[in-house]
Amino acid sequence: MDILKKIVVDKRKEVNFKKELIPIQAFEMMPFFDRKTVSLSKKLKKSNTGIIAEFKRKSPSKSMINETANIEDVALGYEEAGASGMSVLTDEKYFGGTMDDLLLARENCNLPLLRKEFIIDEYQIIEAKAIGADVILLIAAILTRGEIKQFSEFAKSLNLDVLLEVHNEEELQKSIMPSLDMLGVNNRNLKTFEVSLETSKSLSQSIPNDFVKVSESGISNIEAIKELKLYGYQGFLIGENFMKTDNPGASAKDFISLL
């Protein structure tokens, strides 16, 4: 079983368990649920750099990346660095994240926040809104076209932006619909974990210009961003490159200053 399938099996169990514990009404009463969201896609369109800086403690491919980083400091650091947005992993088992991480990021910065999660149920979208997210991630590889439509339209009804992630042409073609704001190309092959920017380049022509193009994974230098901009990309999701350092915020600042 590849890692994505394994994660989804565990995620279904987790979501079903949570649904029994916490009713939707509890999330709707949380302070951030009625907060006015900030559009990441609009911010990326106006940005010269387009950096979406990620907070990620570990990953299945690299195991522990940074177990000492403080989410409050990192969120503040990313904002001061001039990032266009921040991505926060909320999956605990595989990425060491929690919903509290996103809540704390929300309390400590004004950046548009992406909830990086394996969404397989509307319940998680309500959770995202309640903990202060502005954007949700939908992964084409784990969803049907019908689910992508259902979840993206539901997210839009809550004023959340939607970033749809694809890995290949087939996933892209089944996913294109008006309820998406951004189309993200993940340069990592989830079966082999190999990373290649050629994935973003080859898929760029197939992404309609109505959507903000985002390149994800394997971006570790300025040259890569300059190159990808030539293919129409306006957003660049960078996590490991900043998180593997002692001070992710300072690393992001140094990186962004060179763009």
Q: List the chain residues with pLDDT less than 70.
A: 1
Can you give the pLDDT at residue 100? Answer: 98
- Work out whether the CA dihedral 81, 86, 91, 95 comes out positive or negative: negative
Angle of helix 248-257 versus helix 71-81 axis, rounded to 10 = 10
Identified catalytic residue from 11, 41, 47, 56 = 56
Radius of gyration of the chain (CA): 17
Distance CA 161, CA 179 (A): 9
Looking at residue 66, the DSSP 8-state letter turns out to be -
Alpha-helix runs per DSSP H in 48-98:
71-81, 92-95
Is 116 a catalytic site residue?
Answer: yes
Can you give the pLDDT at residue 41? Answer: 98
- Contact, 152 vs 119, CB < 8 A? no
Can you give the pLDDT at residue 114? Answer: 99
Can you give the pLDDT at residue 1? Answer: 54
Give me the residues paired with residue 54 across strands: 87
Is 48 a catalytic site residue?
Answer: no
Is 165 a catalytic site residue?
Answer: yes
Is 45 a catalytic site residue?
Answer: no
Domains in the chain (CATH in brackets) are 3-257 (3.20.20.70)
- Contact, 116 vs 54, CB < 8 A? yes
- The β-bridge relationship of strands 233-238 and 212-216 is parallel
Is 240 a catalytic site residue?
Answer: no
Distance CA 202, CA 107 (A): 39
Can you give the pLDDT at residue 3? Answer: 86
Identified catalytic residue from 11, 43, 47, 54 = 54
* Residue count (the chain): 259
Identified catalytic residue from 41, 47, 186, 251 = 186
Q: How many CB atoms lie within 10 A of CB 223?
A: 9
